[in-house]
Structure 1
Amino acid sequence: MLATPAAIRHIEDHDWDDVRRIYADGIATANATFETEVALREDLEQRWVAGQVFVAETDGRVVGWSSVSPASARHCYRGVGETSVYVDGAARAQGIGKRLVEHQITAAETAGFWTLQTSIYPENRASLRIHEAAGFRVVGRRERIAQLNGLWRDTVVLEWRSVTP
């Protein structure tokens, strides 16, 4: 159990080792992503929207992170982002993922995003519950969308829509 509630803040240079460690932990679960290796910092920085990457920190330790990536390079979709959230294995089931998702929504909406989307394995029930509780709704299921470690996997597609025009 964490001693103090996690503070959510923008990522800083000294956070990258922890972010990549937590990402590796998520990859190892085989229930968080189709990725099989942690991307380099430079690749992640290019992938993620500047100002839309946050870490959760408690007692001076990074215990989770979230990010928004552009859903498309097309201008008409500039306000649509794809979200990711990862929590350190030792810090799961303590409300950190929920706080990160809620913070991400607020920050993204403030930055002009009107839609956030994510794809989650149906087996990752905790992440599905967190997203639905934060206002995401299920819009579909992609069956056998891709293989992970030689096995076809489905994903549940969820989206959050701003009520502000």
Structure 2
Amino acid sequence: MLHLRTMSENDWPMVSKIYAEGIATGQATFETEIPSWEKWDSNHLQICRFVAEREGEVVGWAALSPVSSRCVYGGVAEVSVYVSTNHLGQKIGSQLLNQLILTSEAEGFWTLQAGIFKENAASIRLHTTLGFREIGYREKIGQMNGVWRDTVLLERRSLKAGN
């Protein structure tokens, strides 16, 4: 049975392992190295951090990052959702993203956004299934291994928060 709970620093070894798996795919992030816990922690909001656990093993994680330090964007955050490669296709990402949505709305977030490599069809499908809509793309936004990459921009506007 899958159990979702708040992420803690003690989860970092497993969270970083899953993050490394995402990096290795070349489809999840522009990051090329796992940051330290301290760097990761400072770049993500203290609220809305979750792990998915099955039989004591962390099999996925999700968190929010601020999009800006300006106070007017205090209700806008970027989502990160990662699932262990050994547990793909089991709806873990859906459960984590849904938990982020519910908790972020309760915390007053009115917009969640995601920038996803256009080749990552599974992640785009996950987000659109849970109410994100494509609002555009960024052409050649960054290089990875000398190759320019495009990202699809998606957002989910809350019907509960910010109205």
TM-score, normalised with respect to structure 1: 0.96
Q: 1:106 aligns with which of 88, 97, 102?
A: 102
Runs of at least 4 residues of structure 1 off by over 4 A? none
Q: What is the CA distance between 1:14 and its match in structure 2? A: 2.1
- The answer on 1:118 being equivalent to 2:107 is no
**Percent identity among equivalent residues?**
48
Q: What is the CA distance between 1:13 and its match in structure 2? A: 2.9
One-letter identity of the residue aligned with 1:138:
E
CA contact (8 A) 2:3 2:53 kept: yes
Q: What is the CA distance between 1:95 and its match in structure 2? A: 0.3
CA contact (8 A) 2:116 2:151 kept: yes
Q: Which runs of 5+ in 1 are unaligned?
A: none
Residue of structure 1 equivalent to 2:41: 45
Q: Distance in 2 between matches of 1:11 and 1:36?
A: 23
Q: Distance in 2 between matches of 1:13 and 1:69?
A: 16
Residue of structure 1 equivalent to 2:21: 25
Q: Which runs of 5+ in 2 are unaligned?
A: none
Residue of structure 1 equivalent to 2:52: 56
CA contact (8 A) 2:113 2:154 kept: yes
C-alpha root-mean-square deviation of aligned residues, in Å?
A: 0.7
Q: Distance in 2 between matches of 1:127 and 1:107?
A: 20
Q: Distance in 1 between matches of 2:54 and 2:136?
A: 35
TM-score, normalised with respect to structure 2: 0.97
